[in-house]
Chain A
Amino acid sequence: MDSDEDFVSNMSSDDDIMQDDTDNDLSAAEEDFDVFDDEPDDDPNVIPYKSDKKKGVAFDVGYKVYDPDDIRCQQDEMIDEVNMILEMSKEDAAIMLRYFRWNKERLIDDYMDNPSKVLEAAGLGPSAPELPKLQPIPGFMCDICCEDEEGLLSFAMKCGHRYCVDCYRQYLAQKIREEGEAARIQCPSDGCHRIIDSRSLDLLVTTELRDRYRELLNRTFVEDKDTLKWCPAPDCPNAVECGIKKKKDLDKVVPSVTCNCGYRFCFGCILSDHQPAPCELVKRWLKKCADDSETANWISANTKECPKCNSTIEKNGGCNHMTCRKCKHEFCWMCMGLWSEHGTSWYNCNRFEEKSGTDARDAQAKSRVSLERYLHYYNRYANHEQSARLDKDIYQKTEKKMVQLQTASGMSWIEVQYLNTASQALQTCRQTLKWTYAFAFYLARNNLTEIFEDNQKDLELAVEALSEMFEKPIAELADAKLKVDIMDKTSYCNKRRVILLDDTADNLANGRWSFNVDLKSAASRR
């Protein structure tokens, strides 16, 4: 698989953290399983389809989930390294790394090249060795608040711009709390670009503010690194690392990842998982569904404007002799010319050139076909989307059902877990099915498309069958045979899903799909 080779080289190119994981794609895929293995098996948030995943299947991308402590550790390691190699304080190393967006190699190269220029650009300027401290200076007047009381404590960074402690504190509080700034807080002096380091900050602010500052710094670390992204689930503090960071990779792969919190999302566009459809198609599809371009399409397929008053007219039968209801203008529907000029050739418009007449009819017919095609796919997409929304209710219903079932049948909690598994398989499969329709809308017809549609049909049938079993009343669910059936169907659904995704991902990676829109040019334009 060429694509996997690509990712491996991308991941290891300038990113030492990933190197350990990217010796080959198998180990990268294994990382992905570690994520699940760390979790207790009864965690209801983990989507339990891991058993169906084979190692190295085409739709899996290597990724790793980091919790806030991991993120902090990574930063500290890099800071320590720079601190040792360049013999600068940790505070300064941190500022430098942030300035270079955590590209350590480039930082070291540039620094070796021209230390003073790099220091200046990063906001460190020429440094003095002494530690920052608060001190009273005789005859000092704060330039911000004009306070000049005897013994007033003041602070200045190495740039020497000195302000009273109260003003400094308020300035930092404003930056951190109100503006959410951390990595690039400059000296309060007008035009001075010196960046405040964390040791000076510690000296000045409250613990609460310091924690917030640290949190913000962590945030910039993740945001600065192209291989790291926050899990978009609400309140999830984790970040995911994945080697997909170039836009062009997204033509070849749909990098779905699953956070430790259980949320599945696309690393490429941060939307909820949309396998098998590539990001670009998803973007177009969502736009197409959101704007009313199809309304316009319908209008153009079915209506014309009155040549005189521009009222929109739908011709719902009858002959070509039109009389506008509004302005009473009489014209020919075919050539849009004045009816009175038609002379004797009434009811048979010959003023319209043969060729352009056919063209116009063709254009109208085409427009109509494309509209019907869109609606075909849209209705199925929307149907699964709605079902997926209902799945949220189903999940809650499942929990209730499981409790009822335990009392009704005397089954233990463990023994009713199959319902939970089934419910989650349903949700996952519906999500996939939904996107297969958006994907299919953009597919050009060929043999591969037929295989795809067969896979899609198989998955859909399996999902609907499972869905039906799942809705059965408690009395029937207690039946041991139905339990086996549901478990079988669940695993069958998951298998069909894997087969479908594997096939589409493989073809995508090898560029075998042909789309009826140009994906690549659109991606590079953006």
Chain B
Amino acid sequence: MDNPPAGMTISLPSDSDLSKWDVSLAGPPGTPYAGGVYSITVTLPPDYPFKAPQVNFATRIYHPNVTNDSLGNICLSLLKPENWKPASRVRAILEAVRQLLIEPNPEDPLETRIAEEFKSNRAEFDKNVKGYVARYAKGAAK
């Protein structure tokens, strides 16, 4: 991609396989995720662009819309079959992922407990996010 969205760099782990992308995303400034560097994998299915790509967080992240496990599945309406269009762009997805860090969507959570905490106890939430950043998302260690 000539012009990746802000705070992102994109690389292909294998020259021969164009269907797997590694994206590194810097936690957006002004959010508790700032300072963390997140590695995201984008997998283009064989039917791409007629099927939506699969996007996962490879770095553990404390977020209401990302599963709190090693799979890092993301709940993104853009990627659902009823919303994905062949003319949609990967760029739009990446921007949506970044937007999700700026503005989590607790109404449609994958992790209900984290969503609850996000709504009712923001200080505790921020603290937990930063704890995860320190433990998992310090890019240099990777």
Interface on A for B, CB 8 Å cutoff?
A: 143-144, 161, 163, 167, 170-171, 174, 178-179, 181, 184, 186-192
Give the distance in Å from the alpha carbon of A170 to the alpha carbon of B48 in the complex: 10
Give the distance in Å from the alpha carbon of A209 to the alpha carbon of B45 in the complex: 22
- On chain B, the number of residues with a Cβ less than 8 Å from chain A's Cβ atoms is 12
A188 touches B47 (CB 8 A): no
A-B contact pairs, 13 of them (CB 8 A): A143-B87, A144-B87, A161-B87, A163-B86, A170-B86, A174-B47, A174-B51, A178-B51, A179-B81, A184-B82, A190-B88, A190-B92, A192-B85
Closest to A168 in B: B86
The 3 nearest A-B residue pairs measured at CB: A174-B50, A190-B88, A188-B86
- 12 more contacts with CB within 8 A, not counting A143-B87, A188-B85, are A144-B49, A144-B87, A163-B86, A163-B87, A179-B81, A181-B81, A186-B85, A187-B85, A188-B86, A190-B89, A191-B85, A192-B85
Give the distance in Å from the alpha carbon of A189 to the alpha carbon of B86 in the complex: 7
A189 touches B85 (CB 8 A): yes
Give the distance in Å from the alpha carbon of A223 to the alpha carbon of B87 in the complex: 30
Q: How far is the CB of B90 from the nearest CB of chain A, in Å? A: 12
Interface-centre pick from B81, B85, B87, B92 (highest chain A CB count, 10 A): B87
B 62-86 to A, binary, CB cutoff 8 A, 1 in contact else 0? 0000000000000000000110011
Question: What A residues does B92 contact at CB under 8 A?
Answer: 190
Given A174-B47, A174-B50, A190-B92: A167 and B82 interface contact (C-beta under 8 Å): no
Q: How far is the CB of B141 from the nearest CB of chain A, in Å? A: 37
Interface on B for A, CB 8 Å cutoff?
A: 47, 49-51, 81-82, 85-89, 92
Give the distance in Å from the alpha carbon of A167 to the alpha carbon of B50 in the complex: 8
B82 touches A189 (CB 8 A): no
Contact of A171 among B82, B86, B89 (CB under 8 A): B86
Give the distance in Å from the alpha carbon of A99 to the alpha carbon of B84 in the complex: 20
Interface-centre pick from B51, B82, B86 (highest chain A CB count, 10 A): B86
Contact of A144 among B81, B82, B86 (CB under 8 A): B86
Contact of B50 among A143, A171, A181, A192 (CB under 8 A): A171
Give the distance in Å from the alpha carbon of A174 to the alpha carbon of B86 in the complex: 10
Contact of B87 among A179, A181, A184, A189 (CB under 8 A): A189
Q: How far is the CB of A140 from the nearest CB of chain B, in Å? A: 14
Q: How far is the CB of A170 from the nearest CB of chain B, in Å? A: 5
Give the distance in Å from the alpha carbon of A295 to the alpha carbon of B51 in the complex: 48
Give the distance in Å from the alpha carbon of A178 to the alpha carbon of B47 in the complex: 11
Given A179-B81, A190-B92: A170 and B87 interface contact (C-beta under 8 Å): no
Give the distance in Å from the alpha carbon of A179 to the alpha carbon of B86 in the complex: 14
Question: What A residues does B47 contact at CB under 8 A?
Answer: 174, 178
Give the distance in Å from the alpha carbon of A373 to the alpha carbon of B47 in the complex: 59
Closest to A185 in B: B82
Closest to B50 in A: A174
Question: What B residues does A188 contact at CB under 8 A?
Answer: 85-87
Q: How far is the CB of B52 from the nearest CB of chain A, in Å? A: 11
